[in-house]
Amino acid sequence: MPYVTRGTIQLVDTGNPANDRILINPADDYSVKHGNDRYCVFLDPAPAPAPAVIGAAIYHSGHEFQFVPGLKDSLRTAAFQRTLLELIVDPAPPSTITKIKMPATP
């Protein structure tokens, strides 16, 4: 099941373009702090009405995400412009960003 978050990103250059990754700087609404650690929260994109239990995935802010190759140019542009994105992740290992919405809008 895919999950969604919002935030800005940083590209992580691994020296091999096929292995480049991104770090997500989550928007405040998609961030949780525990002690000194910050986490990025991904939620079910179609939340159920309250008080239903919703699906979520939580990653440490230092987690490096893979992304589908077709997103690289858009992600690079968003990183340099610090554009707020809506990112959809497939949480199955290796945690791959599969879609983006740029800029993120309600």
Are the CB atoms for 54 and 46 separated by under 8 Å? Answer: no
- pLDDT tens for each residue of 13-67: 888 877 889 999 999 999 999 999 999 999 988 766 776 777 889 999 999 999 9
pLDDT of residue 78: 94
pLDDT of residue 45: 84
pLDDT above 90: residue 104? no
Q: Is the dihedral of CA 95, 49, 38, 22 positive or negative?
A: positive
Phi and psi angles of residue 80, each rounded to the nearest 5 degrees, phi first: -70, -35
Q: Which residues of 44-65 are buried (b: 16+ CB within 10 A; e: fewer)?
A: beeeeeeeeeeeebbbebeebb
User: Averaged over 2-8, what is the pLDDT?
Assistant: 94
Q: Which of 5, 10, 6 is nearest to 82 (CA)?
A: 10
pLDDT above 80: residue 106? no
- Residue scoring higher pLDDT (82 or 105): 82
Q: Where are the domains of the chain?
A: 3-101
- Residue whose structure tokens are 């791959």: 96
